Structure 1
Amino acid sequence: MNSTPSSFSQLQHDHIDLWSISPKQLNDSELKYLKSLITDEEQTRIATFKSSSAQKTSLVSRAMCRLVLSQYINIPAQAHQFSRNKHGKPSLLKNSTQLQFNLSHNEDLIIMAVSVKDEVGCDIENPIRKVSIEPITRRYFSTQEHVMLMAKQGQAQNAAFFKTWTLKEAFVKATGVGIKLGLDSFYFLYDDKDNKQNIQVCFNEHYPLNIEQPWYCFHDQFQQQSFALCRATKTLQKICYLDAAQLIPVPKR
């Protein structure tokens, strides 16, 4: 895993930095440090989660976001201010660098994608989770994807479902609209033998945005998780994997 983020010039052209951290691997002192980075308002929101696991994941996600952004913008992690668009997607309040980012998480892993200028979205899912594939795809996915998935069985169907699911989530997040875009308004075409970059997004007639916008879409397995990235660009991307845990200072002895 790489330990140095890309430069701004690299990010503008063909790089997505993908940071990750596992909440379960952090000790009490590391969590205490992360808590010191977030605002009182954020701490209040975290406290509304009923389970301690959800509180921990939210804490690490928020603090990780601040630590990562400070690798690109020369201000303290505590000083970052955020805004949200009308669909809820967060961004930096003052962003003269045009830095773009997106996060996704579950209890085992948190990821954060970073790019410059072009919007980016990411999603991560645990592929061992039990899901009801037929009713989910029939109700929410496009007809094309439902037919494709129903033609598969067993592990092949499960793998294709999570690949499609993460791609769809990453895509709607990258558009800034979220699921209000309509998960059935677009669909993905890909070769099962090419698991990563040979992925094409296509549009149905009721897709509400610009169909001429080029997209780069990527899928892979990472730390036993299924994850996807989508970026509003036609340029083939290099994915730089980075360990966010390395940003947490080692306590002085």
Structure 2
Amino acid sequence: MNPLISSYNELKANRIDLWFIDPLQLTNFSDDYIKSILSPDEITKFASFKHKEAQQIFLITRLFTRLILSQYVLCSPINLQFSRNKHGKPELLGNPNNIRFNLSHNNHLIVMAVTINDDIGCDIESPERRISILPISKRYFAKQEHQALSLLTSEAQQQLFFKYWTLKEAFVKAVGVGISLGLDTFYFNINEVDDKQVIKLQFNDTYPLAKHNNWRFYQKTLNKQMLAICRESSIEQSINYIDAQSLFKDK
């Protein structure tokens, strides 16, 4: 077991464990190692990929997920079982301590947020990606966010766009329905108060779900990537950042 975690009992209701790793650090997995971690179905799917890059992403994220969650339920990674809700969000089966998790990745970083009991979502994006900000925000974001972006230019506009983007993705993943919720049905106000970022979620009339849940948001730059975490909780959270590199020492 990883020495950073002695048991799931250390994961308290007021803490989120945020595991992270640079996928470029992970190469050359042996066949025996893969077979010792992944399920037979995952190995079959891994072998079915035609494109090497997609195959590698699938492999690393599945290894990452199993190795981390096995730290909390105290069993072998290969014995973990999962289900998915109707929108595709994975959940851990045989989970009496109600470990909840969510994963996000790109070519530069993989992260997984782990907590207990509460719905959680996370997202990362590279804030350096060059995209057509205003056309995208006009089509997909709430009008309040598009208007806020329209008042900015250059780097400030770029940064705010990816703050909105990651917060929105983290939220819809925590809710468990994905972007089918409608990214324009809710919006964020982000302000600086006493050198601290204050994030407020607000809803438009078209938002289809309950509006009284206690959603909490956390955002920072991690390894040059924009990170957002959303958790439904009535209490303030501390975030424990854990480098997952040591989990792969036997690869």
Q: Which amino acid aligns with 1:244?
A: A
Deviation at 1:107, TM superposition (A): 1.4
1:60 aligns with 2:60: yes
Q: What secondary structure is seen at the aligned counterpart in 2 of 1:88?
A: coil
**Counterpart contact for 2:119–2:175, Cα < 8 Å:** yes
What is the correspondence of 1:83-162 to structure 2 with a 5 Å cutoff?
83-162=83-162
**Counterpart contact for 1:35–1:63, Cα < 8 Å:** no
TM-score by length of 1: 0.91
- Tell me which residue corresponds to 2:222: 222
Q: For 1:142-163, what per-residue CA distance to the aligned partner results, in whole angstroms no more than 9, with x for missing partners?
A: 0111111111110000000001
- Tell me which residue corresponds to 2:202: 202
Q: What secondary structure is seen at the aligned counterpart in 2 of 1:91?
A: strand
Q: Whole-Å Cα distance in 1 between the matches of residues 246 and 30 of structure 2?
A: 11
**Counterpart contact for 1:104–1:111, Cα < 8 Å:** yes
- Tell me which residue corresponds to 2:40: 40
Q: Whole-Å Cα distance in 2 between the matches of residues 48 and 205 of structure 1?
A: 44
Q: Which amino acid aligns with 1:185?
A: T
- Tell me which residue corresponds to 2:234: 234
Q: For 1:163-218, what per-residue CA distance to the aligned partner results, in whole angstroms no more than 9, with x for missing partners?
A: 11000000000001111111111111111577865211111111111101011101
Q: What secondary structure is seen at the aligned counterpart in 2 of 1:216?
A: strand
- Tell me which residue corresponds to 2:81: 81
- Tell me which residue corresponds to 1:176: 176
- Tell me which residue corresponds to 2:51: 51
**Counterpart contact for 2:174–2:230, Cα < 8 Å:** yes
Q: Which runs of 5+ in 2 are unaligned?
A: none
1:72 aligns with 2:79: no
Deviation at 1:243, TM superposition (A): 1.2
**Counterpart contact for 1:34–1:60, Cα < 8 Å:** no
Q: Whole-Å Cα distance in 2 between the matches of residues 57 and 154 of structure 1?
A: 32
Q: Which runs of 5+ in 1 are unaligned?
A: none
**Counterpart contact for 1:197–1:217, Cα < 8 Å:** no
Deviation at 1:10, TM superposition (A): 5.7
TM-score by length of 2: 0.92
**Counterpart contact for 2:5–2:71, Cα < 8 Å:** yes
Change (3 A) 1:6 1:174: farther
**Counterpart contact for 1:12–1:117, Cα < 8 Å:** no
Q: Which moved more, 1:162-171 or 1:237-246?
A: 237-246
Q: What secondary structure is seen at the aligned counterpart in 1 of 2:37?
A: coil
Q: Which moved more, 1:48-57 or 1:176-185?
A: 48-57
Change (3 A) 1:7 1:144: farther
Q: Whole-Å Cα distance in 1 between the matches of residues 34 and 49 of structure 2?
A: 18
Q: What secondary structure is seen at the aligned counterpart in 2 of 1:83?
A: strand
Change (3 A) 1:71 1:9: closer
Q: Whole-Å Cα distance in 2 between the matches of residues 242 and 149 of structure 1?
A: 33
Q: What secondary structure is seen at the aligned counterpart in 2 of 1:13?
A: coil
Q: Whole-Å Cα distance in 1 between the matches of residues 72 and 140 of structure 2?
A: 37
- Tell me which residue corresponds to 1:187: 187
RMSD (Å), alpha carbons: 2.3
Deviation at 1:44, TM superposition (A): 3.1
